[in-house]
Every structure is written in C-alpha cells, then in structure tokens.
Structure 1
Amino acid sequence: MKHPTGQGKTTSHRYITGFDGLRALAVIGVIVYHILPNVLKGGYLGVPIFLLLAGYLVTNQMVGKLVNKQSIRIVNFYCRRLKRLYPTLISMLIFTITYITLFQRNLFYQLKSIFITNILFIYNWWEVIYDQSYFDRFAGESPFTHLWTLGVEVQFYLIWPLLLVLLFKLLKNKQQVGHIVLALSIVSAILMAVLYDPSHINRVYYGTDTRAFSFLLGAWLAFIWPADQLRNQLKPQAKKLIDITGIIALLAVVLLYFVLPGEAAFTYYGGMFIFSIFAMILMGVIAHPGSSLSAWFTNPIFTWIGKRSYGIYVYQFPVLIFYESNFKNIGSHPLINAIIEIGIILVISELSYRFIEAPIAKFDWQNFPGKLTKFKNISWQWLWLVPTVIILGIAIFGIIQSPSEKPQSALEKRIEQNNKTIKQHNSNIKSGKVDDQPPIGDGKVAKKYGLSNQQVKAAKQLKVTAIGDSVLADSAVNLQEIFPNIYISAKVGRQSYEAPEIVQSLKRDGHLANIVVINLGSNGIITDSDAKSILKTIGPDRQVYWVTTHIPSKAWQKPVNKEIKKIDKKYDNVHVIDWYQYSIGHPEWFYSDNVHTNVDGNVKFAKLITGKLLND
C-alpha cells in the first residue's frame, strides 16, 4: 500500500484511537475461543493482532528518528515497556498463586518456576520444554498457559530496537531496511512450516522465532505506511478504495476467526501467516485518520474494552479455570456460564485498570521515598497495605513451598499402571501370545460385568482396536478382561486432530481391526474436518463405534456429543455408544473430576461398550 502524504499530516505521536477497537476485536476473539471453543474455532488468532500492533507502534516510533539520525533512548524504551507490563502481570501472578495456595491445591506445583520464568519473560520457552499444550483444555490446563504471549512480546521489545539500529547502520536507506524486515517475516513463517510437528505443536506455537512474522509484518507496515505521514483528509475515490480494502480485510479476519482451528495443519503451513496479512491490512486502514473504519473502531464500547484489553487478557485464564473447578455443570448450560465468566473477567479487569494499571502509570516514583517517611501519619488511604501484605505473604509461601513436580493422584497412578498393562498387552498381541481366554476367566467376567456366558464367548472372538484419551486409558484393563484381542491406543491429553496419524500408523502396522472404538472429546472440540479425516483414514469397510463424552465442567460437552451424533447419521459404518446419556445421574461412577470413571464406573463403561459391540 502506498500512503498519501502532504499537507495535514499528523505527528508521529498521535494516539490512534481505532487501535483500541482493534485490541477489543483481538481480546474478544481470544476470550470467546477459551470459553466457547466450538463457537469461535480461530479466536486464538487474536494474539497475532496484538503482535502486529506491537510491531507497528514500536517501529513507527523509531524509524523516523533513525532516518533523521536522531538517537534512540533504548533504556528508556525498556523501562516504559516494563512499567506498562509488570504491575498487572505481577498482580495477577500474586493473586493467582495465593488462590492456588489456599483453595486449588491440585495446581500447587512448579509455582516457583512459573513465577520466575514469567517475570523474566521467558515463560513461552518453559512451556515448550515442559510440553504444556495450549490446546489441551482438560488434562494439561493451567491458569498461566496464556502468558506465553507476554514472553514473546517482551523478547521482541528487547531485541527489536537493537536490531533496528544495527540494520540502519549497515544498510543504505530506509527502503532496504524495510525489505529486510519483510524478508525476516517470511523466513519466520517458513520456519513455522518447517518445524511444524502435529504431535508436538507447542514448539511452533510458543516459539519466538516461529511467531515473529506477525510482529515483523507490523514493523514492515510502519516502513510503508507510517502514521505521521497519513493525511487527515482523503479524496472521495481514495477514501472509498481504502474503506473497501479495510472491509474486505475485516471480513477475512472474522471469517478466519470462525474457520481456522489451532490444531489444523494448514494453520502452520501458511494459514496463520495469511491471517496476519489480512489483519495487517486492516490495521493499516484503521491507522489512517481519513478512513471510515478508523471511526467505526473508535466507539465507546470498543474503546472501553481496548483500554482494558491487557488486564482482560491476563486475568482470563485464572477466572475460567477457577470457575470451572467450582461449577461442575457448565457443559449443560454453556451460554449462561459463559456470560457469567465474561462478567467476572470484566469486573476484575476494571478493578485492575482503576486500582493498579492507571494509578501506577501516573505514580510519582521519584517522590516515593519522601512519601514513605510520612507513613507515620496513617490514613485510610494506607489501609490497603494490610491485605496486600497478607496476600503477598501467602503467595511467597506458595512460591517457596510448592513442589517442583506434580504429585500423582490416585487416578493418575491408576492410569500410569494401566498404560504399562496396555503396552504389555499390545506387545503380546503383536507377538501372537494372546489367546482367547480372558485374564480372570469366563465365569468371573460374566459375573463382574453382568454378561451372559454367550456374550463372554462372543467377546473372546472379537478383534477390536480402541483409540482414545485418558478416559479410555482409565478403563483399558476392564476392556482387556472382556476382549482379550483388543489393541488399545490411549494417551492422556489426546485430542481428535491427532487421531488420523494414529489410525494411519495402526493401519500400517496391521493393528487396525475391523471394529474400531473411538473415545475422544474430553480435551477439546471435535471439528467436522477432524471427524472426516479420521473416518477417511479408517475407511468405509470397518465398523466405527464412537463413544460420547461426559465432561460436564466444559462448554464443549454438548457440541462434541452433537458432532458425534451428526457423523453417526452421515456415515453408515459409524455407530454411537452414548456414554453421556447412560451415565447421567450417576456421579458415584466418577472420580472427583466427574470425567474419569472409578472402579464401579469402569465396569459400567466397559459393559456399555460390550453390549453395543455385540448387539450390532
């Protein structure tokens, strides 16, 4: 895009009010994605918008000075950035750690590492090392997962000014530097595609190098579309062209919000880069003071959300996770609970903005020592120190005392032991050592699971392949007792997008039987494309039995079960095993998470699957 220049240009420090609206669009996408992932599959793409804005605003401030041979006060820049980011981040960390220490002991581990890596802004790489998935919304969910973004952003802030100064010293002019910036952005996008591994998305999702293209596209835009050279007034034809361009970009951004899942391969093979290009164009149009979109994105609601977007983003995950931990029936009323969760997030963000962000931004730090000397004149204004000291003390205790590794629960120990049994049983099948005799004998099997002798004999002859997540792993031993020839592939945190590759591997190794049981959906949504890919890989000649999910604390329970029933109607070889309906009203079958089955629940789960396989 070529920018119109001339009379009426604004200063390089003008506040672009429409950017508050763009921040609002970004944070709305992220929040809706986290609360209702089935509604906005690509809402996570709000993060590239934040990175685009950071790249544009930072570079726009610096390029003019570098072109005019003015010095850049890099240390002051660092201080301003940290002053903006630290207060809310540290407050969130302290409050969240305090809550965990007092009320959420299942999350009481690794708090020291989490706190240190966050205040050093390297948390994204910590998540890569510890394989903390952004998309596992059940088994691996943490109230700190989303803070990877701040690590990436601050790393850019630290590196970019130095790199920009170096490029201007090495190259002849502004245009050449701009070309290098664009080239670096393309290299980053290519690196994301090259390093993409469907079994280990975390590396490319959290990596600073693989996410740099959004920041760099924003930086490149500052070279070709600088805010200080955009006219306030436009000719009607030029205004129309810019507005149409902005509307097309906005529609593309919104469309990709709805259709680009974070688990899809295309997302990493250019999809996220394409989104960033459309978002960059939209940002450029909004930056222009003469465009209609600049006015549209400058409205009271968007402005309010945009100014508080940082707090909204930071506080969202703790609110969601703590809320879902205390209210176990979210899946039955996802919309109502979503409204309540959003309300809580907005209230906390407003309090943070009023009492933390805004006051600290205006605080007179130079005279702070003098104020402390007057502390003896205690007034009500200082009473906030008492609860602050208490909360801080509890948080420090939590940071010091929390174990470095997660303690194993009874359920986790059971699943770990079951995984060993699964591995041994699968090995026996591979080597042909498994006979048709159930491990505990026909009579005991019949009595334990309420089956007839005829059903037990029929089950002994069936060859079955079961693919699933931790729910399947939890009940694997029970299924092996009934089906001696069952080959099980189960993994904690597994999601539907991983299944096609697993099915392909099983088929290649000769372990994909004519009867396939699928138990997925506990850790996230099942998209149409996921289901289609899974069934295409399995093939139409095999019978597929898909188990509905029971996960009442998550909003995707209904959408997942709806999707399973939808594919049952669409494919002749698909059959539904309705575990959700069968288990309603039986909380005694589950562990405290109300998802994984206990000893009694495992028997019921295995019996239901057996009945469906034998009757069909």
Structure 2
Amino acid sequence: MPKPVDKGTTYVPGLDGLRTLAVTVVILYHLGVPGFPGGLLGVGVFFTLSGYLITSNLMRSWDRHGGLGLKTFWLRRFRRLAPAMIATVVATLILTAALDRGSLTTRAGEALSTLLYVNNWHTILAGSSYFDNFAGPGALDHMWSLSVEEQFYLVWPLLLLVMLFILRGRRGPVAVATVLVAVASFALMWVLAVPGADNTRVYEGTDTRAGGLLLGAALAVWLSSRRAAGKSTTPDGPASVLLGAAGVTGIVAMVVLVDRDSMFLYHGGTALLTVAAVCAVLAVSRPTGLWSRVFGCLPMRWLGERSYGIYLWHMPVIAFLPSAWLSDRLALSAGLVAVISVLLSALSWRYLEDPIRRHGVVGPVKQWWAQRRSSTPVHDGGGSGMRPETGDAPARARVSLQSYAGAGAAVVLSAVVVIGAPAVVADPDGATVSGSHGPGMRMELDGSGAAKPGAPSDPAAGSAPGAGAAATATACTRVIHVGDSTSLGIFDPDMLPDPADSGENRYLEYGAVDVVTSVFGGRNTTEGFEDYPSAVDSVAELLAQGQPEGTCWVIATGVNDAANISAGATYDEETRIRMMLDQLRGQRVMWSTAKTRLDTGHWNDANMVKFNEVLERVAKDYPDVVVWDWASDVAGHMEWFLDGDDVHYNAEGNAARARLFAAALANAFPVGVVDPVPGGTVVTSAGSAGSAGSAGEAADAGTAE
C-alpha cells in the first residue's frame, strides 16, 4: 500500500511489509526453490490485502460523502494498475517475437485477455493448465490474478452499495452478509475441486477465489462500523502480538507445508490462509505494535511499495531465462530474477506508476487533444496544461501525456534489454528460453502419413541403417502410433534421409495393413499443449471411433511426462501411465521407454530412467501390454540424437527409430501368437527380453535385422 495520494487516508507501513512477504514466496514458488511448495498461496495474501484496502477506501468515501464515489474509485484503480501492466505486456510480446517466435500467437491471445482483465477465464475456457510446467513457465501465466482482482473491483462496489441500501447503512449486518458470501465462495471451491484432476478452473475462477477478497472486505466494513461508533479500530498490545503470531505463522506454515496438489488447498486450506492474512492485517494495523515495527521497517516497506511491479515482472524474467539455468544454476537464477524484477519495478514506479497515480491521465489526455486541435498549447495557468483530476492531491510536478509515453517506452526498452540479456548470453546464435523443449516441434499426421505444417525442416544430416527384410511379421493388422515430438521425425519425409524410411512404411513392411498416427509436439500422456490434445484424449477419441480386430497401439510418450513431473506437475508417473492403460484395457499395447542425452535440467535422462522403472512395474497389471526398451536399444547409438538438442533425433536416428519401432512391435505381437502376452513383458527390437525387470539383458539394437 503506497502512501496514499489522498491526505485523508491513513498510511499503514506494515501492510506494505505483508506485500513483501507475499511477493517473495510467490517468486520462490515460481522458481521452484525447494522448501516452498505452497508459495502460490502468496497470491491469496494479496487478495485479502486488496479486499481490505479497497473496501476501506469505499467506506471512507461513504463516511465523507454518503456514497461510494464509484467513478473516482474505478478511475483510480485503472490509474494504479493499468500502466505497469501494459508495459509488462508490451515488453513480453517484444521478447516473445525476438526469442520465442513460435509462441507468439499464444502469447498474443494471453496478452489481449490480460489487457481486457479476463485472463483467468481465457485460460480456463482454452483448457490450459496453470499447473502444467513441462513447456516451462509462461511469461503471462500470473496475469490471471490481476484479472480476478479487477473483476472484483468492478462487481464488489456495486454489491456493497446494494447491501448498504437494503440494510439502511447498518455496517454490522453488511459485514456479516459479506462473510456469508465469502463462505459461499469457499464452499464452491470445495465442491468443484476434484482429487487427482487438474483444478485450474477452481484455482483461477473469480467465483471460487472471491472468498479471499471478501473476507478482507468484511474486515474493512467491520472496522468502519467501529470507527463510526467511536470505538477503537486497532487491537491492544497483547492482542496485536498474538494476532500477528497466529497470522504470520499460519501463512508461513502453509507456504512451507501445503503442496500445490494437495486437496487441502481447496478443502478449507485457502479459507484458513485468508483467516491468517486477516489476523496479520489486524496485527500490523497497530502503529506501535511489534508486528508493525517488523513489517513496517524501511526495506520491507520499500519493497512492498513496489511489490505490484515486482509481481508483474518476475514471471517474464523467469520465462525468458535459459532453461538449464533454472535447473542447474538455481541460486544464480534466483538472484537474477530478484535483481532484475526489483530494478524494473523501481524504474516503473519512479517514472511511470507514481506520476500517473499522483497526477492522473484525464488531464494530460485533454491537454494533448486540445494541442492537436489548436496550434497554441492550452495551459491551466501553471504552465503545464494539466489540472489534477477530481480528488487528487495538488500536483507537485507537472506532467504531460508525452512524458507518460516517454516513461513507458523507457521502461519497456529497459525490460527488453535486461530480460533478454541472459538468453542472448547463454546462446548468442539463437537464444533458447525455458520452455524450449516443450513446444519445440509440432506436427499432426493422418492415416496416410502426410505431415501437417509445423515440423523443423533442417534435421542433422546422416544416413540411416539399411532396412533389409523383416526378420518376423507382426500380427497387428492396424497400428495406431500415438506419440510426442520425439515421434515427429519418423513420419516426416523432410526429417529422414529417404522418404521411404518412414515409420508408416516400416510398419507396413512388418505386416501391418493400415497405419494411423496421432503425433503432436509439446504434449505428453495427460497434458496437451495449446490446441494439441493430450495422448489420453487422442486415444479416447480414437477408441470412440471404433477400431477393428487386430489393432495394436504404440504409445510413444514419456519424455515430456518425466520433464513435466520434474517441473512439479500434478500427476505422478504411475497416475499418468494408469490413465492411459485403463482406457486401453483389453487392447494390445506396446509402450516405448524414454531416453535423452542430457544430464541436466528437467529433460535429464535420470528423470527418464525413473519414468521407465514405473512403466515397467505398472505394465505388469495389464495383460497384452508390452514395454519396448528403447532406452537400452539406443544406448549404443547415442550419435542418433540431434546435436545441441539431445532430446530429439537427427535424420539417421529418425530412420533407425522407424525401423526399430516396427521390429519391436513384431517381437511384441508376432504372427501366430493368439494367447494374451503377460503384462509387463519387455522386448527390444532384437527380440523379447522376458519379464519386466530384465531390460538390462536386452540385445543390442544393431542386431535387429
């Protein structure tokens, strides 16, 4: 809460200190710093503070003027929030165009929804996930909370005015009614949350998150009623100490102990956090109290004044950091994020936000318009051509629309330079950002094997091993290949040494009659990417179409799953695998293991090994589910990986994978085998390796033919 422009408003320094605490834990969470699994709860603290502060202002207007002064209130909210948000959005779009052009269309949609303050509903209606991190953090992922607050600012004053009118200005009943509406919001959160599901709708919904704002508002109304009755609005010394201890301890405990995937977050946890935040607000409201001195000290107060800007800038800074830095140089990354975010927020506050907050926007716009219509500048007698807007304190410095535009441009340019610098330093020839492996390459294929636009056109050169005659034939008459971006190259002629080396041709050579492909980049088993469905969703759609007898399913996901889990995804390995295999129960399935050539980051091969171990264990529970141990097959051919990428494959590797997929499927389900294959059987492209757990005995992939 920066020092108010209105001299009649009391400044409470400790509230700025609470903002510092809230923004700190949010940044730690978004960085993935260990020990702060509930850092996202810092947003809940912001909500309670916002509800309390804006309602305090509304009730103060009620006391002075007998009304809420809605026109002035909404104008001041716009002046306070919009300038820095617009600067952040513009800088993000420029950085996206320069460093992550493939995401520009998606980012533009997010930017527009942010500018219109509907980002949360844009995310929900688009089916996107706040908790899906396999493609890296998004630069505008955090804008949902601004939309929730702005929607609250629009609706709540009207509801408050109605309640004051119906209850004839009796503030005690209004406070009670506000609490009841908050309880209804928390109850809706409880009802809509589903265990094991992606609860983005519940987490970002305005209706389900309004409870945090409303309890803060109820506190403001209650204190206003006490003030009107001539009673104290601050707790006494001992009470202040106890309230602060309970509030601050509660907030910190939940940040440290409550995992973001815990149903407790939705089943009362958010409500308890809000109560803790209300206690903390009451504690710091006592000017001479212990907690006011702690949270009102200069560093906490200074950062708190700029916390809005810090919150806005920290996500673009994180999103455009090189992905390896976030996992391998976390301390450096955290330091850079903190320094750059604070620097940009201080610059924005000094030259953009505070001047607009103090001097408004209507006056400069009127002056600019008058100057456009007349060759003679229009002045107000003070040489500025601007009068402070209604309700503003007298201007100490005269400003113009041109000065605002210049300040905004300076902030945007500074942001582009300092945020983009780490990516350029890390990769001068072609900066890669934190989500580089996620969306990377995208392609969908139909049954003919024709590729849709989106795949890279310049894979590494090389010659694939000769195909030769198939050693065996598969009993699978139809093959449905469901894969992620690592399967793109085996079906795209431009990513193979020879179009004849395609995966479709190899499956046909081994006896298949029909090949259907569902291959998309960026997705994994249970999460899609942008408009691309998850593998589970694709399989469900294909099953609904009806598949003939003799169909076999090749599942080639796992790479992004392992990375997603490392980044803190909702579902663990076993949940993901069972979601796929449960709907394919009774079908013949071959699922390939995952492998990369990386030893750092979320796509670290150690994460692939963990996924593979769970896959082999879980597959035992499903008859006719075979695991192809691709990881062992490729272990002797690490040159097949694409240099500099180390997750996808070069032309030689794609050709080899196409051939070996088909050979492995023939070994998994050979002609003449009618009885169900024991679940968890592990095969290689050279032959069966027996039961799960014996993958290490697999023959070398080069002996497949």
TM-score, normalising length: structure 1: 0.69
Q: Does 1:316 align with 2:322?
A: no
Out of 392, 395, 416, which is 2:444 matched to?
416
Distance 1:243 1:185, change over 3 A: closer
Q: Aligned equivalents of 1:297 and 1:285: distance in 2?
A: 10
Q: Does 1:249 align with 2:290?
A: no
TM-superposition CA deviations, 1:188-230 (whole Å, max 9, x none): 2232343446666343333211221111122122244569665
Out of 191, 194, 201, which is 1:194 matched to?
191
Matched AA of 2:236: L
Q: Does 1:107 align with 2:103?
A: yes
What's the offset of the Cα at 1:331? 3.4
Distance 1:16 1:269, change over 3 A: same
Q: Aligned equivalents of 2:165 and 2:331: distance in 1?
A: 55
Q: Aligned equivalents of 2:358 and 2:639: distance in 1?
A: 53
Matched AA of 2:641: W
Matched AA of 2:205: G
What's the offset of the Cα at 1:323? 2.5
Assess if the C-alpha contact under 8 Å between 1:522 and 1:550 holds in 2. no
Q: Aligned equivalents of 2:483 and 2:268: distance in 1?
A: 29
Q: Aligned equivalents of 2:145 and 2:164: distance in 1?
A: 28
Q: Aligned equivalents of 1:446 and 1:153: distance in 2?
A: 59
Partner residue in 2 for 1:278:
276
What's the offset of the Cα at 1:74? 0.8
Partner residue in 2 for 1:147:
143
Deviates more, 1:339-348 or 1:195-204: 195-204
Distance 1:119 1:500, change over 3 A: closer
Matched AA of 1:301: P
Assess if the C-alpha contact under 8 Å between 2:641 and 2:653 holds in 1. yes
What's the offset of the Cα at 1:275? 3.1
What's the offset of the Cα at 1:55? 0.6
Partner residue in 2 for 1:209:
207
Partner residue in 1 for 2:352:
356
Matched AA of 1:521: A
State the secondary structure of the residue aligned to 1:211: helix
TM-superposition CA deviations, 1:277-325 (whole Å, max 9, x none): 333333333334454233222233322322221111112222222233x
What's the offset of the Cα at 1:586? 6.7
Partner residue in 1 for 2:678:
none
Q: Aligned equivalents of 2:60 and 2:481: distance in 1?
A: 62
TM-superposition CA deviations, 1:378-400 (whole Å, max 9, x none): xxx979959949989xx9xxxxx
Out of 160, 175, 178, which is 2:175 matched to?
178
Superposed, which structure 2 residues align to 1:125-524 within 5 Å?
A: 125-139=121-135, 142-171=138-167, 173-196=170-193, 201-224=199-222, 234-236=236-238, 238-256=239-257, 259-261=258-260, 263-289=261-287, 291-324=289-322, 330-363=326-359, 368=364, 369=367, 373=377, 385=406, 388=409, 415-417=443-445, 471=486, 492-494=522-524, 518-519=558-559, 520-524=561-565
What's the offset of the Cα at 1:85? 0.8
Q: Aligned equivalents of 1:556 and 1:279: distance in 2?
A: 38
What's the offset of the Cα at 1:77? 0.6
What's the offset of the Cα at 1:164? 0.2
Out of 61, 71, 74, which is 2:70 matched to?
74
Partner residue in 1 for 2:26:
30
More helix by share: 1
Q: Aligned equivalents of 1:231 and 1:304: distance in 2?
A: 25
Assess if the C-alpha contact under 8 Å between 1:123 and 1:147 holds in 2. yes
Assess if the C-alpha contact under 8 Å between 1:121 and 1:150 holds in 2. yes
Out of 117, 120, 130, which is 2:116 matched to?
120
Partner residue in 2 for 1:428:
none
Assess if the C-alpha contact under 8 Å between 2:558 and 2:611 holds in 1. no
Runs of 5+ unmatched residues, structure 2: 1-6, 372-376, 378-382, 385-401, 417-436, 451-463, 492-501, 529-533, 545-550, 583-588, 622-626, 665-682, 696-705
Assess if the C-alpha contact under 8 Å between 1:518 and 1:544 holds in 2. no
Matched AA of 1:346: V
Q: Aligned equivalents of 1:580 and 1:255: distance in 2?
A: 40
TM-superposition CA deviations, 1:160-212 (whole Å, max 9, x none): 11110101111253232222212212222232343446666343333211221
Q: Aligned equivalents of 1:305 and 1:565: distance in 2?
A: 46
Matched AA of 2:29: Y
Partner residue in 2 for 1:7:
none
What's the offset of the Cα at 1:518? 4.6
State the secondary structure of the residue aligned to 1:48: helix
Distance 1:146 1:39, change over 3 A: same
Assess if the C-alpha contact under 8 Å between 1:495 and 1:521 holds in 2. no
TM-superposition CA deviations, 1:99-140 (whole Å, max 9, x none): 334454223326665444333222222222323332233448
Distance 1:183 1:382, change over 3 A: closer
Q: Aligned equivalents of 2:504 and 2:14: distance in 1?
A: 58
Q: Aligned equivalents of 2:31 and 2:637: distance in 1?
A: 25
Distance 1:45 1:242, change over 3 A: closer
Task: Say which structure, 1 or 2, has more relative contact order (CA 8 Å, 6+ apart).
Answer: 1
Matched AA of 2:445: Q
Out of 589, 604, 612, which is 2:641 matched to?
589
Assess if the C-alpha contact under 8 Å between 1:253 and 1:278 holds in 2. no
Distance 1:516 1:89, change over 3 A: closer
State the secondary structure of the residue aligned to 1:523: helix
TM-superposition CA deviations, 1:423-474 (whole Å, max 9, x none): xxxxxxxxxxxxxxxxxxxxxx9955x9x988x78x989xx99998655777
Partner residue in 2 for 1:93:
89
Distance 1:545 1:81, change over 3 A: same
Q: Aligned equivalents of 2:636 and 2:21: distance in 1?
A: 38
Q: Aligned equivalents of 2:9 and 2:591: distance in 1?
A: 61
Deviates more, 1:131-140 or 1:471-480: 471-480
Assess if the C-alpha contact under 8 Å between 1:144 and 1:318 holds in 2. yes
Deviates more, 1:583-592 or 1:85-94: 583-592
Assess if the C-alpha contact under 8 Å between 1:231 and 1:290 holds in 2. no
Distance 1:296 1:304, change over 3 A: same
TM-score, normalising length: structure 2: 0.61
State the secondary structure of the residue aligned to 2:208: coil
- Computing the radius of gyration over CA atoms, which structure comes out larger, 1 or 2? 2
Assess if the C-alpha contact under 8 Å between 2:483 and 2:518 holds in 1. yes
State the secondary structure of the residue aligned to 1:417: coil
Assess if the C-alpha contact under 8 Å between 2:74 and 2:154 holds in 1. yes
Matched AA of 2:115: I
Distance 1:111 1:321, change over 3 A: closer
Partner residue in 1 for 2:572:
530
Runs of 5+ unmatched residues, structure 1: 1-10, 376-380, 396-408, 423-444
Matched AA of 2:159: L
Partner residue in 2 for 1:3:
none
TM-superposition CA deviations, 1:129-155 (whole Å, max 9, x none): 323332233448542222122111111
Assess if the C-alpha contact under 8 Å between 1:468 and 1:518 holds in 2. no
Partner residue in 1 for 2:672:
none
Q: Aligned equivalents of 1:103 and 1:535: distance in 2?
A: 34
Assess if the C-alpha contact under 8 Å between 2:447 and 2:516 holds in 1. no
Distance 1:149 1:475, change over 3 A: farther
Q: Aligned equivalents of 2:307 and 2:129: distance in 1?
A: 24
